[in-house]
């Protein structure tokens, strides 16, 4: 290489005592003595610079600034013009980003935390808690028998067991025992009377006034007055909410919710029993898919475990109403006094249950029980995929509301029963999130309107007219931060509830 000055020692010094020296020493000597030229130095700096992060780049720019200032008459030592031009571009870019305050905006975004979900409501059971703060038993230190100058104990091995016997585990029960179950909150070890305020509120006779349906403008204005806040967001059950219901009392609010683990939670925002007005029970062992209050303020809850139970707060028990082994899916009332129920089972069967009789004995004529002779009174066509829910309008039954996994909400006209019910409205709505968004529900006060949760951001609850017109969207950026899988109107008051997948209820009131 012409630009490197050769300073290798004379050849007569290479051999000492007839031994030839290693060439590595020469190379090392060259690397130590000779400084690389500007071109070699530039290539090394470029290779190092490609691995720098933002902080390292800032430090290097500061070093170059001081290096140029201390250079001799503006002539930098060991840097090429390309290296200087590149570092000057970096410095100008850093200055431009500082003028637009990009770094400050990035720090503000990093410091802005996502709103934490409400911690009000159900608390961990202090009796069953396994937290680190619990008091542990202090045991004496262990000492070996050898250190105590004692003979070793002779121990006999236990008899061998069959491999199948040692690995066998008793299967967990699929249902609660038959008969009444005491209403003992999970935060208590032993039974104790329920709060008197709960019993008084539960048994209060609701006064229902005949109200005419509002026009759409007045109805939309009433919806705009609904608000929520931190005090109206509470964790009521442990897991995802499958069902919820309003107590029909209109003097104070009382809400119930059932989750996927079989728990049933009661919450009143105006009371202080339990934790923040929440009481948690476990009347079932699998998801509580359906619940409703009867005309006599009796709460019925149905579970996938095949049990349908009635809540009696005066006796403080969950009583049996109906049970099967195959599992239940949903139910509804067939009479105004709510004494007769229609119950849907997982295998497709439909049972008619009369609560006034403890058992049922029926006589059928086998000559007329032919499956091929059963015909539907009416059919609702147009669903290419599975249907997650279907409900008649609550007061007249003139409409049927269906939700399907083809991302459509449909409204059918059933005012006149025909073999093929006409389709009134088809609304495009994201229903693919089957494990969160499951159904829409009618407003019993304005039965031509319904509400449903939305997957759109920011999260909201939407109210639609049967024609597909959006009436209002309930939202709150601070307190409504999750998708509401279960939504429902209060039967007489201007109030809406929403339940999410973490067991929290959101209450909107005026």
Looking up tokens 């999410």 gives 500
pLDDT reported for residue 105:
76
CATH 2.130.10.10 fits 181-357+375-509, yes or no: yes
Among 186, 71, 182, smallest CA distance to 125 is for 186
pLDDT reported for residue 442:
96
Beta-carbon count within 10 A of 412 CB: 23
Element (H, E) at 91: helix 81-99
Region of 110 on the Ramachandran plot (φ > 0 left; ψ -120 to 50 alpha; else beta)? alpha
Distance CA 283, CA 232 (A): 25
Distance CA 9, CA 55 (A): 45
Among 211, 212, 220, 213, smallest CA distance to 469 is for 220
pLDDT reported for residue 500:
92
pLDDT reported for residue 134:
53
461 token code pair: 């609850």
Q: How much of the chain is in helix, strand and coil states, percent to nearest 5?
A: 20, 25, 55
Question: Could you say which residues of the chain have pLDDT below 70?
Answer: 1-78, 110-114, 122-137, 154-155, 158, 160-171, 206-211, 358-374, 433-438
Distance CA 62, CA 79 (A): 15
pLDDT reported for residue 2:
46
Beta-carbon count within 10 A of 403 CB: 24
The answer to whether the CB of 288 falls within 8 A of the CB of 275 is no
**Close Cβ partners of 392 (under 8 Å, ≥ 6 residues apart):** 399, 400, 414
What is residue 61's three-state secondary structure? helix
pLDDT reported for residue 374:
66
Q: 381-437 pLDDT, tens per residue?
A: 999 988 888 999 998 999 999 998 888 999 999 999 888 899 999 999 887 764 555
What sign does the CA torsion over 280, 284, 289, 291 have?
negative
From the CA atom positions of the chain, what is the Rg in Å? 38
Output DSSP code: residue 222: H
Q: 109-123 pLDDT, tens per residue?
A: 766 656 777 777 766
CATH 2.130.10.10 positions along the chain are 181-357+375-509
């Amino acid at each position: 290489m012409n630009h490197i000055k050769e300073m290798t020692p004379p050849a007569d010094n290479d051999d000492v005592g007839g031994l030839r020296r290693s060439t590595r020493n020469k190379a090392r000597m060259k690397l130590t003595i000779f400084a690389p030229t500007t071109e070699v130095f530039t290539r090394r700096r470029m290779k190092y610079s490609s691995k720098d992060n933002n902080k390292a780049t800032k430090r290097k720019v500061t070093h170059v600034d001081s290096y140029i200032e201390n250079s001799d008459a503006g002539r930098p030592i060991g840097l090429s013009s390309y290296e200087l031009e590149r570092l000057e571009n970096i410095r100008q870019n850093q200055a431009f980003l500082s003028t637009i305050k990009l770094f400050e905006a990035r720090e503000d975004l990093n410091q802005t935390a996502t709103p934490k979900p409400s911690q009000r409501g159900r608390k961990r059971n202090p009796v069953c808690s396994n937290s680190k703060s619990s008091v542990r038993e202090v045991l004496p230190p262990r000492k070996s028998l050898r250190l105590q100058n004692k003979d070793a104990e002779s121990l006999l091995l236990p008899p061998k067991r069959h491999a199948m016997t040692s690995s066998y585990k008793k299967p967990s029960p699929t249902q609660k025992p038959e008969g009444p179950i005491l209403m003992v909150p999970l935060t208590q070890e032993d039974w104790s009377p329920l709060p008197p305020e709960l019993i008084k509120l539960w048994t209060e006779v609701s006064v229902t006034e005949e109200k005419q349906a509002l026009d759409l403008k007045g109805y939309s204005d009433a919806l705009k007055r609904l608000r929520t806040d931190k005090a109206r967001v509470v964790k009521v059950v442990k897991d995802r909410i499958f069902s919820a219901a309003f107590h029909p009392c209109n003097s104070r609010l009382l809400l119930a919710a059932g989750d996927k683990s079989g728990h049933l939670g009661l919450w009143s925002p105006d009371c202080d029993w339990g934790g923040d007005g929440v009481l948690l029970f476990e009347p079932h062992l699998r998801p509580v898919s359906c619940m409703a209050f009867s005309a006599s303020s009796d709460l019925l809850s149905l579970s996938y475990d095949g049990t349908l139970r009635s809540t009696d707060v005066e006796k403080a028990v969950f009583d049996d109403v109906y049970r099967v082994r195959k599992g239940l899916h949903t139910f509804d009332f067939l009479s105004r006094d709510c004494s007769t129920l229609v119950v849907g089972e997982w295998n497709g069967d439909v049972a008619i249950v009369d609560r006034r009789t403890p058992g049922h004995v029926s006589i059928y004529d086998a000559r007329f029980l032919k499956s091929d002779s059963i015909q539907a009174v009416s059919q609702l066509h147009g669903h290419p995929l599975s249907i997650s829910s279907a409900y008649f309008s609550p007061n007249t039954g003139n409409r049927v509301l269906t939700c399907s996994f083809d991302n459509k909400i449909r409204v059918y006209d059933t005012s006149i029963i025909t073999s093929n019910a006409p389709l009134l409205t088809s609304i495009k709505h994201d229903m693919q999130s089957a494990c969160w968004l499951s159904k829409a529900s009618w407003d019993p006060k304005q039965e031509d309107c319904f509400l449903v949760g939305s997957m759109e951001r920011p999260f909201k609850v939407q109210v639609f007219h049967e024609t597909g017109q959006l009436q209002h969207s309930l939202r709150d950026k601070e307190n409504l931060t999750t998708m509401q899988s279960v939504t429902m109107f209060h039967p007489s008051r201007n109030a809406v509830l929403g339940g999410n997948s973490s067991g929290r209820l959101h209450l909107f009131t005026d």
